[in-house]
Chain A
Amino acid sequence: MIVAERKPIEEILEMVRDFRKILLVGCKGCVTVCNAGGRKEVGILASIIRLARDKENRPIDVHEHTLERQCDPEYIDQLADMIGEYDAVLSMACSVGPQFISARFPEKKVFPALNTNFMGGALEHGVWAEFCQACGNCKIHLFGGLCPIARCSKSLLSGPCGGSSGGKCEISNDVDCVWHLIVTRMMEQGRLEELTALKPYKNWSTSRDGGPRKIVREDLKL
């Protein structure tokens, strides 16, 4: 899923500094799963914003609402009836959310309350890591089921580099060297020949490098 994290409080307070009535919109999608912008987190952030403004003696009215998702226009439409009353909208979805809200209600000031970090999964409750970089051309099966594009700091296709030490990446002891994992796994699987075969050059044009991407499914269009 998309993994995001709430922005620091000071940054959010600065965004809503000049407003007296704001709409705080959460999302029941990915950000609920990674505990960043679901209904619960909306409640917590609303409370924090109110407390902060009370302390400054400049109270603020924060209305809380959580949508099914913020990446489908039909759900964004549901805000139409309530949005008129508010000076600004603070979205707790991934960055797609505030962009969709902004597109649908261009006259409204819309702010992102989260930083969208990466596509990943949970390692344990409360811990998420990056697993995918959306390169648009998935070949993890060639690497023992691991992704070197997302998980190698240098996106090497023929790693590990000389900085791999103790199974960790040279950039930090908190980062596993995915090539250490790939080599170990493939050698255990008896796939040394595959491992040492020369890899084709990566075609980055299917990745973000090729420009903003779009998928059109003619079979689904109404």
Chain B
Amino acid sequence: MRLQYSTNIKIVQVPCTGRVDIIHLLKGFEDGADGIYVAGCEEGDCHYVSGNLKARKRVNYVKKVLEQLGVEPERVAMYNMSAAQGPRFVEIAKEFTAVIRELGPSPFNRNAVKAA
């Protein structure tokens, strides 16, 4: 569709969000991400049946960890959309970026690659 979305988003492709585990989200923060969101299929439409449901549970686990560390749980989020919804993908990219901009840079001062 050649729709534009902001350059601050690094995409990690997975065959199904069910592949995303707790450690991947935590490592993302260790590596310097200010925010991480998991974009999966609509609930009920997962090609692998329930991968996106598992992903949501793992996102919730990491939200709790962030809270316990005194960090905003909104920095990690789960979104659901159909693979065909290009405009929705862009909309979410903008929405999440706005949320993180509002929250500010990551409170974890990792000496890792920060967005250029």
Question: Would you call A216 an interface residue if the criterion is a C-beta within 8 Å of the partner chain's C-beta atoms?
Answer: no
Question: Would you call A172 an interface residue if the criterion is a C-beta within 8 Å of the partner chain's C-beta atoms?
Answer: no
A74 to chain B, nearest CB (A): 29
* Alpha-carbon separation in the docked complex, A8 to B69 (Å): 11
Question: Would you call A43 an interface residue if the criterion is a C-beta within 8 Å of the partner chain's C-beta atoms?
Answer: yes
Question: Would you call A196 an interface residue if the criterion is a C-beta within 8 Å of the partner chain's C-beta atoms?
Answer: no
Question: Would you call A52 an interface residue if the criterion is a C-beta within 8 Å of the partner chain's C-beta atoms?
Answer: yes
A54-B110 CB under 8 A given contacts A9-B65, A48-B65, A48-B69: yes
Chain A residues whose CB sits within 8 angstroms of the CB of B30 once the complex forms = 47, 50-51, 54
Question: Would you call B23 an interface residue if the criterion is a C-beta within 8 Å of the partner chain's C-beta atoms?
Answer: yes
Chain B residues whose CB sits within 8 angstroms of the CB of A139 once the complex forms = none
Question: Would you call B29 an interface residue if the criterion is a C-beta within 8 Å of the partner chain's C-beta atoms?
Answer: yes
What DSSP secondary structure best describes chain A's contact surface?
Answer: helix
A7 to chain B, nearest CB (A): 12
B6 to chain A, nearest CB (A): 25
B26 touching A55 by the CB < 8 A rule?
no
* Alpha-carbon separation in the docked complex, A48 to B68 (Å): 10
Residues of B12-61 at the interface with A, using a CB-CB cut-off of 8 Å, are: 22-23, 26-27, 29-30
A54 touching B23 by the CB < 8 A rule?
no
Question: Would you call B85 an interface residue if the criterion is a C-beta within 8 Å of the partner chain's C-beta atoms?
Answer: no
Q: What are 16 of the A-B contact pairs (CB < 8 Å)?
A: A8-B68, A9-B65, A9-B68, A44-B22, A47-B27, A51-B26, A51-B29, A51-B30, A51-B69, A54-B109, A54-B110, A55-B69, A55-B71, A55-B107, A55-B108, A55-B109
How many residues belonging to B are interface residues under a CB distance threshold of 8 Å? 15
* Alpha-carbon separation in the docked complex, A47 to B28 (Å): 10
Chain B residues whose CB sits within 8 angstroms of the CB of A51 once the complex forms = 26, 29-30, 69, 108
How many residues belonging to A are interface residues under a CB distance threshold of 8 Å? 14
* Alpha-carbon separation in the docked complex, A10 to B70 (Å): 11
Question: Would you call A40 an interface residue if the criterion is a C-beta within 8 Å of the partner chain's C-beta atoms?
Answer: yes
B69 touching A9 by the CB < 8 A rule?
yes
- A9, A44, A55: which contacts B23 (Cβ < 8 A)? A44
A17 to chain B, nearest CB (A): 14
* Alpha-carbon separation in the docked complex, A54 to B107 (Å): 8
* Alpha-carbon separation in the docked complex, A50 to B109 (Å): 10
A66 to chain B, nearest CB (A): 14
B16 to chain A, nearest CB (A): 19
Q: Which of A44, A48, A51, A52 has the most CB of B within 10 A?
A: A51
Chain A residues whose CB sits within 8 angstroms of the CB of B108 once the complex forms = 51, 54-55
B58 to chain A, nearest CB (A): 10
Residues of A29-66 at the interface with B, using a CB-CB cut-off of 8 Å, are: 40, 43-44, 47-48, 50-52, 54-55, 57
